[in-house]
């Protein structure tokens, strides 16, 4: 009986939404952007829930141009397919395109403390200001020795256990973030309760905003229903996640705050700044919340970029060897590359940028929301629309990138071999406008240094046993990555061996 009632309520709602949408369309001051055909009642719901959104939206972009419109369940979605359109709306018109749509499941899980998903307003500004204080380039530079130390530990693990390179990446990123945020050292072996809890909470956050996964995101009113009702099992999942989120907000912060140490960490930087009167009228919970959020903005997308690097190097040994030769000519074999070498390694820089372009970690920007009606190139964008930056299509623009599905670092070099790919803010994977990733400076230096150190000491190749793995069986290497909110590779194997005895010595000497 309850199920029938729920279906009836939803059906009535859809009819009302369809009627309102039709009336609103007639009254709009300009036409909507081009719209693919949709169901008379459900609109473009199938387009939103398509299994391979990156390919589907890329085809829609080829059909409808730099901007198209889809709608479902009364929600307008505007998809931007060029960097120019994204820059115009997200940056130049950021005053009305910096909001976020509501994700009811995020709120139910307790992840509304993540300023990446907060509505645009004073609470968001306060969190963003605090986070920028501890993740700006100057503060991040204080942790270079920690980045180098953790990367060197990772290299040692690769020497000892190359088959589990992917698991080592997860541990590298976790131990690095835990150290700089809380001055927490993960044990050398076994599990770490603090890291494991944070990882689960972060993975659940990613699932909370996947299109079509949770009905409550489309109908927030369902969040008020008891969990025992049919269709409301999400309540139990949200409750479990909220308990984990609450624990990772309070426990590690208080432990770091009460631990005396000469090593800097974000907790102590914030506490000292607050004690000095640097932040007035902020709630006591804000510093704890942004420290908990630090892991989410640096871990999952970073691991995807590193996965893409391994795939690219496995498939392109000549490119890998060229980067190695550049490092040897500048750095030599007696030490590992450092961030101070970065400007002198243009090919490595171009390779780094090509990884982001070739396999964007986030195929679509996190959704923005418009706070006012607007007109763009003669098209009407209504208030409350969800705006998506189609990063996959932007990074595969054949007018800008010759043979876009080929891995070609040279596209970011001049004919003289100088790097010309732009600065960190031009990396589309970090987002746009006022919503650009606040942790990008830390992620950028960490990932670049990791790539350089791997290229300097190790050679990545296909398995030498001749046994084909899932990667070898694909019709297209693009299918190695499954794209949801964040892309992730399928399981694959690599042969990872030291370049020379000098490589082994420099890794062992520094790490142990």
Name the binding residues. Answer: 437
Q: Quick one: tokens of 205?
A: 């956050």
Q: Are 373 and 24 in contact (CB under 8 A)?
A: no
The dihedral of CA 351, 488, 62, 433: what is its sign? negative
In terms of DSSP bridges, do strands 75-80 and 386-389 run parallel, antiparallel, or are they unpaired?
parallel
What are the two backbone dihedrals, phi and then psi, of residue 34, each rounded to the nearest 5 degrees? -50, 140
DSSP state, 419?
B
Q: How far is CA 109 from CA 62, 105, 245, in A?
A: 38, 6, 8
**8 A C-beta contact, residue 430 and residue 362:** no
- Residue with token string 């890794």: 507
Residues 345, 170, 437: CA angle, nearest 5 degrees: 65
The CA-based diameter of the chain, rounded to the nearest angstrom, is: 75
What does the alpha-carbon distance between residue 129 and residue 118 come to, in Å, rounded to a whole number? 14
Pairwise CA distance, residues 242 & 251, whole Å: 14
R_g of the chain computed on alpha carbons: 24
Half-sphere exposure of 66 (CA within 13 A, CB side): 13
Separation CA 395–CA 482 (nearest Å): 17
Cα(410)–Cα(403) distance, integer angstroms: 12
Can you read off the two tokens belonging to residue 121? Answer: 């307003």
Answer for the pair 330, 341: CB distance below 8 angstroms, yes or no.
yes
Q: Are strands 458-461 and 495-498 parallel, antiparallel or unpaired?
A: antiparallel
- Which pair of structure tokens corresponds to residue 466? 């001749």
Helices (H), 183-233: 193-208, 215-218
Task: Please give the Cα distance from 104 to 214 (Å, whole number).
Answer: 9
**47 closest CA partner among 22, 80, 70:** 70
Binding residues for heme: 437
First vs last C-alpha separation in the chain:
66
């Amino acid at each position: 009986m309850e199920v029938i009632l729920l279906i009836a309520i939803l059906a009535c709602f859809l009819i009302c939404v369809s009627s309102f949408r039709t009336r609103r369309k007639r009254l709009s001051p300009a036409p909507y952007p081009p719209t693919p055909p949709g169901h008379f009642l459900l609109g473009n719901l199938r387009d939103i829930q398509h299994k391979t959104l990156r390919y589907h939206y890329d085809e829609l972009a080829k059909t409808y141009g730099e901007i198209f419109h889809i709608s479902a369940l009364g929600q307008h979605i505007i998809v931007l397919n060029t960097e120019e359109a994204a820059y115009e709306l997200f940056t130049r018109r950021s005053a009305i395109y910096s909001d976020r749509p509501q994700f009811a499941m995020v709120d139910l899980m307790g992840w509304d403390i993540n300023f990446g998903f907060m509505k645009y307003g004073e609470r968001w500004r306060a969190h963003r200001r605090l986070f920028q204080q501890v993740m700006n380039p100057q503060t991040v530079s204080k942790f270079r020795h920690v980045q180098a130390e953790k990367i060197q530990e990772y290299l040692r693990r690769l020497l000892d256990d190359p088959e589990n390179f992917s698991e080592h990446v997860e541990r590298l990123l976790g131990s690095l973030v835990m150290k700089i945020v809380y001055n927490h050292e993960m044990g050398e072996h076994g599990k770490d309760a603090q890291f494991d809890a944070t990882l689960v909470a972060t993975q659940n956050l990613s699932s909370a905003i996947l299109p079509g996964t949770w009905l409550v995101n489309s109908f927030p009113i369902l969040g008020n229903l008891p969990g025992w009702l049919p269709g409301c099992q999400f309540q139990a999942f949200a409750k479990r996640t909220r308990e984990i989120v609450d624990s990772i907000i309070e426990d590690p912060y208080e432990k770091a705050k009460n631990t005396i140490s000469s090593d800097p960490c974000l907790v102590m930087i914030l506490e000292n700044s607050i004690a000095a009167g640097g932040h007035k009228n902020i709630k006591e919970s804000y510093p704890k919340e942004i420290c908990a959020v630090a892991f989410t903005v640096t871990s999952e997308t970073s691991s995807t970029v590193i996965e893409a690097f391994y795939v690219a190097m496995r498939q392109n040994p000549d490119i890998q060897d060229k980067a190695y030769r550049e490092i040897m000519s500048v750095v030599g074999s007696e030490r590992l590359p450092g961030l101070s070498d970065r400007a002198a390694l243009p090919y490595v820089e171009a390779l780094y940028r090509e990884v982001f372009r070739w396999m964007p970690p986030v195929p679509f920007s996190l959704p923005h929301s418009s706070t006012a009606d607007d007109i763009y190139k003669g098209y009407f964008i209504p208030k409350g629309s969800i705006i998506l930056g189609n990063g996959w299509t932007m990074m595969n623009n054949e007018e800008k990138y010759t043979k876009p599905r080929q891995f070609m670092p040279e596209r970011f070099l001049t004919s003289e071999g100088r790097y010309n790919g732009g600065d960190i803010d031009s990396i589309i994977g970090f987002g746009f406008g006022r919503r650009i990733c606040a942790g990008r400076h830390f992620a950028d230096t960490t990932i670049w240094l990791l790539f350089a150190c791997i290229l300097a000491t190790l050679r990545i190749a296909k398995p030498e046993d001749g046994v084909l793995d899932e990667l070898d069986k694909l019709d297209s290497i693009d299918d190695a990555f499954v794209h949801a909110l964040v892309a992730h590779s399928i399981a694959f194997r690599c042969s990872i061996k030291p370049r020379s005895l000098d490589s082994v010595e420099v890794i062992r000497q520094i790490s142990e």
